[in-house]
Amino acid sequence: MSATTLPSQTLEIPIRGMDCHECTLHVQSALAALKGVQSVNVFLASEKAAITLDPAQVTLEAIRAAVQGAGYSVPSTDPETAEVAQRQAQANAFARRVLVLFGVVIGIVLFVVVVGEWLGLFESLTALIPYPVGAAAVTVAALPILRNVLRAALRRQIIAHTLMSVGALAALLVGEWATAGVVVFLMYVGSTIEHLTAERTRRAVKDLAALAPQKARLLRDGTEQEVPISAVTVGDEVIVRPGEQIPTDGVVRDGQATVNQAAITGESLPIEVSCGAQVYAATLIQHGYLRVQVTAIGAESTFGRIIKLVENAEAHRADVQRLADKFAGYYLPVVLLIAALTLLLSGNALAMAAVLVVACSCSFALATPIAMLASIGASARRGVLIKGGKYVELLARADVLLIDKTGTLTLGKPRLTDVISLVDMPSDALLRLAAAAERYSEHPLAEAVRGAAAEKGLAVPPTEHFEAVAGMGVRASIEGQVITVGNARLIGKEVPEATALSAQGKALLYIMRDEQLIGILAASDALRPEVPAALETLRKLGIRHIELLTGDNAQAAKTLCAPLGVPFRAGLLPEDKIRVVREYQARGHTVVMVGDGVNDAPSLAQADIGMAMGAAGSPIAIEAAPITLMGENWALVPHAFQIARRTMQVVRLNIGFTALYNLVGLSLAAFGMLPPMLAAAAQSIPDIGILGNSARLLRHTPTDQ
């Protein structure tokens, strides 16, 4: 009899304590080493690991032990155990914060002292502190970092802090405890930046999940009852009234309503839905009433999938290793070999120490982050917030730009474009009647009508007996006339004058006076005025693949894109945008996605670089995107590309200069021509060159190419 083979199982395990990309690599390596684990994806943003495994070979206890062995923890589901673990985690976190604070304070003081002595401002100030005291202080401050480096070394990994740790230990070996302290301080600066970035990313996922509907008005046996969303099942019917979120995906079985689907499609213009229409969870009814039969709930709904896509987008990204780390990975073994050969051939321990000290100059720590910080600072002054240096590197090589429409390429709210009178009445008189009828309406098109009347300075008459006509529009008594303003359902027939406007993708409002059609209003979402020039600059920068992705209809997209010369894909849901991003990535392109709404969050996360429009954008999209444009000026987009490319030129120059300088220093130290104390002092020279070169980025101004 053959043994029964259990199918593979995928578990999602929460993990606590991860602060950076290297943390996820530690956890992934530890879990992948377990027998029976088939694949592992570790997510920093959502603090979890997705593990595909053979349940006959891997237990939860083994997973927990592997994670703990890597220096992290898996929260317990047992309340008592979880409470003990939480107290222990809090104690550990407090201890880490104390050590970090201690290291930062020591580092700042030592940095001032070392630089001051190099400039001749202090005379042997560090000599006032005995070496054992200084070395002990630096060692205690460096313990958390040294522990991570040791863990990585045991797993045969070289991380960003490995090279600098060797330099710090070498400095201690030759008595340069102050220099070692400065190296430790710089390592803490990098770790802190990564930790803050991770926390902002986690908030994005939590804020997005908070938008999901929590309750539903369930219809059972002819009665309505408000229940938690978890009590709803597929096939149930729910009732949704004005101002309420649709709680689930479903099909309309009764009623008519105006639904704002911005949470799903991102489009500002609401749609009219009636019997047979598909509706989505988290969308909002503005007017009307719906009875909806449930087709998908919670994580299976369209909005639930959006949340899942944001959480899991990390798994589909290629790992971007910092340029300095890559160089250090090859450089460190060579340095150790040269130091060993120096000791073996010369027997001179001081020469060996000098090799280690000069090779591990702080310039390796400064070469990349100083340039990145200068770039990020210069960009911030122009309203471009970049969440980390790795995104600068990715943006510098990007060659595909995908763009959302509403609120990104356009202003995000409709504006009245046409007022057509069908009777003997001036257009301004028609507009003032329509504005009066729409006085109390909250529909976006009503706002456009009122706004147009205000711009013209029209005196809008008072409104009497206002009422909303479900699924059609509004009706009011104005100056003794009954004025009705609404959609095509009001008239129930085609109007020749409306055909051309509809062909341009414009939204139409029909105006009736006492049952007679007297006029048509047309509105559309206007293109941002600076977009054409910005797109032209991007083409000059070499961005040849520019494409519009929108949930709007094809005609509206065509009208917008034709004068811009930009291809488009219309009628897309968030999953479709994700698919387009992956198509480009599969062909080897580096993709930038520019968006603003909740519906853009998954594609912003999936793209190599997500760029969120900030002022008018959704906070969720802003948190999900590595780059945020705080203003609504599209000129900021090519500026971001320009400064990213210039930054990488500066980084390459920094690293090249450091490598050349250290090659000369290594040669002099290996032949005994550079004593350890002089080697330690010589570390400052490349630092100054790197600081000066990187400072050029602070003066960067965008060009039109």
Residue 375: CB partners within 8 Å, gap ≥ 6? 386, 392, 643, 644, 646, 647, 650, 697, 700
Cα three-residue angle 274-275-278, rounded to 5 degrees: 80
Domain assignment of residue 389, yes or no: yes
Span 405-429, mean pLDDT?
85
Domain assignment of residue 166, yes or no: no
Residue 684's alpha-carbon distances to 366, 695, 702, in angstroms, are 11, 16, 32
- The CATH number assigned to the domain holding 21 equals 3.30.70.100
CA–CA gap between residue 194 and residue 180 (Å, rounded)? 22
- At residue 389 the predicted structure's pLDDT band, cuts being 50, 70 and 90, is confident
- Specify the range with the lowest mean pLDDT, choosing from 198-202, 204-208, 356-360: 198-202
Domain assignment of residue 372, yes or no: no
Pair 261, 276: CB distance under 8 Å = no
Span 239-261, mean pLDDT?
89
Together in a domain, 515 and 564: no
Domain assignment of residue 670, yes or no: no
Which of residues 311 and 148 earns the better pLDDT score? 148
Together in a domain, 420 and 495: yes
Together in a domain, 509 and 535: no
Span 591-595, mean pLDDT?
91
Reference 552, options 265, 283, 262, 282; nearest CA is: 265
For 268-296, write each residue's pLDDT tens digit: 567 788 898 888 888 889 888 899 999 98
Domain boundary among 642, 677, 694: 642
Span 51-68, mean pLDDT?
87
For 469-514, write each residue's pLDDT tens digit: 876 789 999 988 999 998 887 777 778 888 888 777 788 899 999 8
User: Average pLDDT of the chain?
Assistant: 77
CA–CA gap between residue 382 and residue 148 (Å, rounded)? 37
Pair 520, 501: CB distance under 8 Å = yes
- The CATH number assigned to the domain holding 262 equals 2.70.150.10
- The CATH number assigned to the domain holding 541 equals 3.40.50.1000
Query: How many C-alpha atoms does 501 have within 13 Å on its Cβ side?
Result: 20
- Specify the range with the lowest mean pLDDT, choosing from 126-130, 237-241, 383-387, 579-583: 126-130
Extract the tokens encoding 316.
């589909």
Alpha-helical (H) ranges within 33-59 are: none
Together in a domain, 551 and 522: no
Pair 237, 294: CB distance under 8 Å = yes
Span 85-112, mean pLDDT?
54
Q: 3 phi and psi, to 5 degrees?
A: -70, 145
Domain assignment of residue 92, yes or no: no
Together in a domain, 538 and 400: yes
Span 572-601, mean pLDDT?
85
Span 406-435, mean pLDDT?
87
Reference 287, options 255, 240, 238, 242; nearest CA is: 242
Together in a domain, 536 and 616: yes
For 128-164, write each residue's pLDDT tens digit: 777 788 788 888 878 877 887 787 777 666 665 665 6
Question: Which residue among 19, 236, 404, 608 is the active-site one?
Answer: 404
Together in a domain, 400 and 541: yes
Domain boundary among 642, 664, 685: 642
Query: How many C-alpha atoms does 209 have within 13 Å on its Cβ side?
Result: 11
Domain assignment of residue 546, yes or no: yes
CA–CA gap between residue 495 and residue 476 (Å, rounded)? 23
Q: Of all residues in the chain, what percent carry a pLDDT higher than 90?
A: 17
| Number of domains comprising the chain | 4
Span 216-228, mean pLDDT?
89
Domain assignment of residue 602, yes or no: yes
Domain boundary among 75, 94, 120: 75
Pair 396, 195: CB distance under 8 Å = no
Reference 242, options 185, 285, 281; nearest CA is: 285
Q: What is the DSSP letter of 382?
A: T
- The CATH number assigned to the domain holding 450 equals 3.40.1110.10
Full residue range of the structural domain in which residue 253 is found: 215-247+249-296
For 612-644, write each residue's pLDDT tens digit: 876 444 545 556 678 877 667 788 899 899 988
Domain assignment of residue 53, yes or no: yes
The pLDDT value recorded for residue 261 is 76
3-state secondary structure string across 149-201: HHHHHHCCCCCHHHHHHHHHHHHHHCCCHHHHHHHHHHHHHHHHHHHHHHHHH
Reference 626, options 607, 603, 609, 606; nearest CA is: 609
The pLDDT value recorded for residue 432 is 92
Q: Which residues pair with residue 407 across a beta bridge?
A: none
Together in a domain, 259 and 397: no
The pLDDT value recorded for residue 650 is 86
- Residue type for 497, please? E
Together in a domain, 402 and 439: no
Together in a domain, 446 and 400: no
Together in a domain, 478 and 425: yes
Active site residue 404: yes
Q: Indicate if the pLDDT at residue 705 is higher than 50.
A: no
Q: Which residue has the tokens 């509105």?
A: 523
Angle between helices 177-210 and 302-312 (to 10 degrees): 170
Give the DSSP H/E element, type plus range, for residue 228. Answer: strand 223-228
Q: Walk across the sheet containing 37-43 and list its strands.
A: 9-14, 48-53, 37-43
Q: Of all residues in the chain, what percent carry a pLDDT higher than 70?
A: 71
Which of residues 678 and 551 earns the better pLDDT score? 551
Q: Indicate if the pLDDT at residue 583 is higher than 90.
A: yes
Instruction: State the DSSP string of 456-480.
Output: HT--PPP-EEEEEETTTEEEEEETT
Q: Indicate if the pLDDT at residue 214 is higher than 90.
A: no
Together in a domain, 532 and 638: yes
CA–CA gap between residue 594 and residue 627 (Å, rounded)? 9
Span 350-368, mean pLDDT?
66
Q: Indicate if the pLDDT at residue 396 is higher than 50.
A: yes
